[in-house]
C-alpha cells in the first residue's frame, strides 16, 4: 500500500509532500489526494460529480506535473474539489494518462477548507522508479 | 554547503562568484548581522543560482525578509540585460503582481472600535475569500481579455473606484504591452470569475490604526494622508489569482521546451527561462503584463467593495469618510527600468519576487503629489505583528535596482506552524489582544500565525539603516480577514 505525507523542512512559504507507491497509477492517484488534502478535509468531499481528464506528455515526470496542474485548473474553473481519483497511465512512447476524478462544488458550510493551492512548482520536483515501486516529491505554491 | 559570505559595506553581505560554478556575478544580501545569522541556507543557495542566469547585471540580490522560495528566493531582485538576459517565471512567482494596497480614512479608533465587529462582519460578507472563492462579476472570456489588456482604466470606466485612484497605483495600474493573445484559453477561463476575490494563503484584508508612538516621520506621513493620531487605514494583500497562476504554469512548460534551443541550462528547473528578446520571452512578458493588470484590477474591485462596506456601516459616503488610496504596489513582477551601468544609463529588465519598488524623490514615474518625497512602500507584516508604510529613496536606485523589502518573511514552514498552534486558539488569543480575525479556514489561520514570521521591526530596520527606504509609520492591526 502506498502513502503520502507532508514534509515540513522543504519549502518554508509553501507546502511540500512526498509519495511512495507500488504502481504508477497509485502514485498519480495519491499525489492528487495529497494535493486536495492540502486544501480541504478530504472525507467531507462527496464524489458526486465526475470529470474525465486525458493528458499526454513527453516524460513521466512532466505528466505528473501536468496532471496536478490540470487538477488545480479544474478546481478554479468550476470552484470544485475532488476526493476520488481513478488513474490509468500508459508509459509507452508519449506518456499518456486517462483519469476519472470525482468531487463536488465547494461548500464552505460543509467543507473544512485549508489553504488554496495556486500552482505546482518544479522546485525539488522529483519522480523516481524505486526497487519496490515509485517515489515522488512535489512542492505546491500556496 | 556553507558558502563564504562577508559584509562588504554595513548591511550588505556578499557571496563572491567563486563560491559556485557558473556564477556570473556576486550575490548580495541586505541584512543586519542578526538577520544574516538566522537566514535559512536555502536563501544563499537560491540567490547564487540566480547569479548564474544569462545576462544578469551587477549582482543577484536578496532583501532582509528573504526566505527560501522556489527558483528565486522570496525577497529576490535581479536585473537583466535586455539583449543578453533572460526572463524567468521563477523570478516573478506564480502569483504575478501579488501586491499591497493601502487606503486611508478620516476615521479614528474611537469611532471604529465600538462597531468593529459589525464592520468586520460586513467586510467578510462583501469580499470573497478562501479556496475556490468566486467574484461577483460574471464576465466572458472576451470581456476578461479586455480587462487584462487595459487594467485599472477598465475598472474606473465601469465605476469601480474613483478617477483619482489611477494616480496612486504603480504605473497607473495599466501596464502597456499586455497582450491577451499571448494568454491561454485556460488562463482566461480560470480567472474570469475571480475578480474581486482575496484568495487564500497569506492574503488578507486588514483594518489598522496609526498609534502616535508608531509614527517615525509625521511630515512624510502627512503627505501620504496619514495626518492624525489613531487614524484608521485599510490594507489589502492579494494578487492575480488563478489567472496569473495559470499564465506562470503555462510558460514554465513553454520555457522548459525552449531552453535547449537557446543553449540555456539552469541549476534548478524552477528557474526555467528564455532570452527576453526571444519570441518565447516576449510572449511571456506580454502575458505576464496581462496578469499584472488583472491583479491591479482585482485589488481595485476589492477596495471598491471595502468602500461600500464602510458606507454601509458608517452611513456616510466613502468620499466623506476620506477613503483615498495611499498607494498600490506590486511585489511579484518584472519591469523594464533604467539604471546606471558602467557609468551609462541602461534599460534593464528588473525581476522582483517578494520585493517592492522603492523609487525615491524626483522620479518621473511618480505622481506629482509624491514626486518630491518618494514612493510609498507598503510592507505587509503578519496579522499579529503589524505592517509598515515606508518611503522610497534615491539610494535604492543606486544600490538595489530601486527595490526594497515586501513583508516580514517566514521563518517557519506552514506544516510546522500548524503543529505549534491551533487556529481557533489563535483567533481567541488575538481577540484578547484587540485584533478581531475572521477566516474561512482555521488551519490556514494557524499557518499565518505571527510566530511563523521574522520580526518585522528587525527587517524594516535593516532597510531603513542602509537607506533603501525610510520608515514613516508602523500600522497596528485591529481587524483582519484572512483569505
CB contact under 8 A, A8 and B413: yes
Residue B325, strand partner residues: B103
CA distance A99 to chain B (A): 19
Nearest to B242 among A6, A8, A76 (CB): A76
Contacting residues for B213 by C-beta, under 8 A, at least 6 apart: none
CB contact under 8 A, B444 and A39: no
| DSSP-based three-state secondary structure for B388 | strand
User: What is the rounded distance in angstroms from the CA atom of residue B337 to the CA atom of residue B173?
Assistant: 16
Q: In this structure, are residues B457 and B64 in contact, taking their beta carbons and an 8 Å threshold? A: no
Contacts 24+ apart (CB under 8 A), A72-78: A72/A35, A72/A117, A72/A118, A72/A119, A72/A120, A72/B245, A72/B249, A73/B186, A73/B190, A73/B242, A73/B246, A74/A101, A75/A39, A75/A117, A75/B131, A75/B132, A76/B132, A76/B190, A76/B194, A76/B241, A76/B242, A77/B189, A77/B190, A78/A105
pTM to 2 decimals? 0.97
CB contact under 8 A, A77 and B202: no
Taking the Cβ of residue A45 and every Cβ of chain B, the question of whether any pair is shorter than 8 Å is answered with no
CA distance B23 to chain A (A): 19
Q: Which of B245, B351, B397, B406 is catalytic?
A: B406
A69-106: b or e for each residue (b if 16 or more CB lie within 10 Å)? bbbbbbbbbeebbbbbbebebeeeeebebebebbbbeb
CB contact under 8 A, B132 and A9: no
Nearest to A73 among B93, B190, B270 (CB): B190
Q: Nearest CA to B358 among B403, B305, B312?
A: B403
Taking the Cβ of residue A94 and every Cβ of chain B, the question of whether any pair is shorter than 8 Å is answered with no
User: What is the rounded distance in angstroms from the CA atom of residue B389 to the CA atom of residue B382?
Assistant: 14
User: What per-residue confidence (pLDDT) applies to A91?
Assistant: 87
Distances (CA, A) of B314 to B116, B230, B320: 11, 17, 10
CA distance A133 to chain B (A): 24
* Average pLDDT of adjacent 10-residue blocks, chain B of 483 residues: 91 98 98 94 96 98 94 97 97 97 98 98 96 88 97 97 97 97 97 94 95 98 98 98 96 96 94 98 98 98 98 98 98 97 94 98 95 97 94 98 95 88 94 94 92 94 98 98 91
**Residues of A with Cβ-Cβ distance to B201 under 8 angstroms:** 115-116, 118, 142
Taking the Cβ of residue A108 and every Cβ of chain B, the question of whether any pair is shorter than 8 Å is answered with yes
Distances (CA, A) of A87 to A45, B250, B337, B429: 18, 23, 48, 45
User: What per-residue confidence (pLDDT) applies to B133?
Assistant: 86
Nearest to B268 among A76, A81, A123 (CB): A123
CA nearest to A105 within chain B: B132
User: What per-residue confidence (pLDDT) applies to B449?
Assistant: 92
Model confidence over A87-109: pLDDT tens digits?
Answer: 999 988 789 999 999 999 999 89
Taking the Cβ of residue A23 and every Cβ of chain B, the question of whether any pair is shorter than 8 Å is answered with no
User: What is the rounded distance in angstroms from the CA atom of residue B401 to the CA atom of residue A54?
Assistant: 45
Model confidence over B351-374: pLDDT tens digits?
Answer: 999 999 999 999 999 999 999 999
Catalytic annotation on B344?
A: no
User: What per-residue confidence (pLDDT) applies to A8?
Assistant: 82
Selected for mutation to probe chain A from B49, B144, B413, B483 (highest A CB count within 10 Å) is: B413
User: What per-residue confidence (pLDDT) applies to B1?
Assistant: 61
Q: Evaluate whether ipTM surpasses 0.90.
A: yes
Q: Cβ–Cβ contacts within 10 Å for residue B420, how many? A: 12
**Residues of A with Cβ-Cβ distance to B419 under 8 angstroms:** 8
Amino acid at each position: 500500500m502506498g502513502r503520502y505525507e507532508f514534509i515540513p523542512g522543504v519549502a518554508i512559504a509553501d507546502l511540500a509532500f512526498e509519495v511512495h507507491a507500488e504502481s504508477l497509477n497509485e502514485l498519480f492517484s495519491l499525489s492528487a489526494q495529497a494535493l486536495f488534502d492540502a486544501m480541504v478535509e478530504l472525507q467531507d468531499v462527496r464524489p458526486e460529480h465526475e470529470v474525465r481528464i486525458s493528458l499526454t506528455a513527453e516524460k513521466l515526470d512532466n505528466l505528473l506535473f501536468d496532471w496536478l496542474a490540470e487538477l488545480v485548473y479544474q478546481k478554479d474553473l468550476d470552484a470544485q474539489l475532488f476526493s476520488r481519483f481513478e488513474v490509468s497511465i500508459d508509459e509507452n512512447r508519449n506518456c499518456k494518462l486517462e483519469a476519472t476524478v470525482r468531487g463536488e462544488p465547494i461548500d464552505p458550510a460543509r467543507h473544512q477548507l485549508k489553504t488554496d493551492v495556486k500552482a505546482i512548482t518544479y522546485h525539488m520536483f522529483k519522480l523516481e522508479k524505486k526497487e519496490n515501486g515509485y517515489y515522488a516529491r512535489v512542492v505546491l505554491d500556496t | 554547503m556553507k558558502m563564504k559570505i562577508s559584509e562588504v559595506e554595513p548591511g550588505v553581505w556578499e557571496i563572491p562568484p567563486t563560491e559556485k560554478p557558473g556564477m556570473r556575478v556576486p550575490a548580495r544580501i541586505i541584512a543586519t548581522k542578526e538577520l544574516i545569522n538566522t537566514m535559512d541556507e536555502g536563501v544563499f543557495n537560491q540567490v547564487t543560482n540566480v547569479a548564474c542566469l544569462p545576462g544578469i547585471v551587477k549582482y543577484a540580490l536578496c532583501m532582509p525578509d528573504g526566505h527560501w522560495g522556489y527558483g528565486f528566493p522570496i525577497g529576490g531582485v535581479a536585473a537583466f540585460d535586455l539583449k543578453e538576459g533572460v526572463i524567468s517565471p521563477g523570478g516573478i512567482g506564480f502569483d504575478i503582481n501579488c501586491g499591497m494596497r493601502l487606503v486611508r480614512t478620516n476615521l479614528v479608533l474611537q469611532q471604529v472600535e465600538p462597531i468593529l465587529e459589525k464592520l468586520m462582519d460586513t467586510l467578510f460578507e462583501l469580499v470573497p475569500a478562501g479556496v475556490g472563492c468566486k467574484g461577483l462579476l460574471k464576465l466572458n472570456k472576451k470581456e476578461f481579455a479586455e480587462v487584462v489588456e487595459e487594467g485599472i482604466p477598465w475598472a474606473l470606466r465601469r465605476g469601480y473606484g474613483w478617477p483619482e485612484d489611477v494616480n496612486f497605483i504603480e504605473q497607473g495600474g495599466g501596464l502597456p504591452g499586455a497582450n491577451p493573445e499571448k494568454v491561454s484559453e485556460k488562463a482566461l477561463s480560470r480567472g474570469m470569475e475571480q475578480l474581486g476575490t482575496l484568495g487564500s494563503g497569506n492574503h488578507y484584508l486588514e483594518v489598522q490604526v496609526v498609534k502616535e508612538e508608531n509614527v517615525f516621520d509625521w511630515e512624510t506621513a502627512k503627505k501620504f494622508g496619514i495626518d492624525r493620531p489613531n487614524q484608521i487605514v485599510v490594507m489589502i494583500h492579494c494578487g492575480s489569482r488563478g489567472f496569473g497562476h495559470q499564465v506562470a504554469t503555462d510558460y514554465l512548460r513553454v520555457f522548459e521546451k525552449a531552453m535547449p534551443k537557446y543553449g540555456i541550462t539552469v541549476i534548478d528547473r524552477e528557474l526555467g527561462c528564455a532570452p527576453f528578446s526571444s519570441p518565447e520571452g516576449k510572449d511571456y512578458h506580454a502575458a505576464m503584463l496581462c496578469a499584472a493588470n488583472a491583479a491591479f484590477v482585482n485589488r481595485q474591485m476589492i477596495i471598491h467593495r471595502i468602500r461600500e462596506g464602510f458606507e454601509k456601516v458608517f452611513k456616510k459616503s466613502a468620499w466623506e469618510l476620506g477613503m483615498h488610496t495611499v498607494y498600490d504596489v506590486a511585489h511579484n513582477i518584472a519591469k523594464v527600468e533604467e539604471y546606471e551601468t558602467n557609468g551609462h544609463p541602461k534599460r534593464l529588465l528588473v525581476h522582483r519576487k517578494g520585493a517592492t519598488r522603492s523609487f525615491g524623490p524626483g522620479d518621473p514615474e511618480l505622481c506629482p503629489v509624491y514626486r518630491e518625497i518618494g514612493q510609498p512602500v507598503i510592507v505587509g507584516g503578519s496579522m499579529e505583528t503589524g505592517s509598515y508604510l515606508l518611503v522610497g529613496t534615491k539610494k535604492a536606485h543606486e544600490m538595489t535596482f530601486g527595490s526594497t523589502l515586501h513583508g516580514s518573511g517566514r521563518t517557519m514552514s506552514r506544516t510546522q506552524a500548524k503543529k505549534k498552534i491551533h487556529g481557533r486558539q489563535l483567533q481567541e488569543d488575538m481577540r484578547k489582544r484587540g485584533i478581531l480575525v475572521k477566516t474561512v479556514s482555521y488551519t490556514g489561520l494557524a499557518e499565518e500565525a505571527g510566530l511563523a514570521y521574522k520580526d518585522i521591526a528587525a527587517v524594516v530596520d535593516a532597510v531603513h539603516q542602509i537607506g533603501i527606504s525610510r520608515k514613516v509609520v508602523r500600522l497596528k492591526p485591529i481587524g483582519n480577514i484572512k483569505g
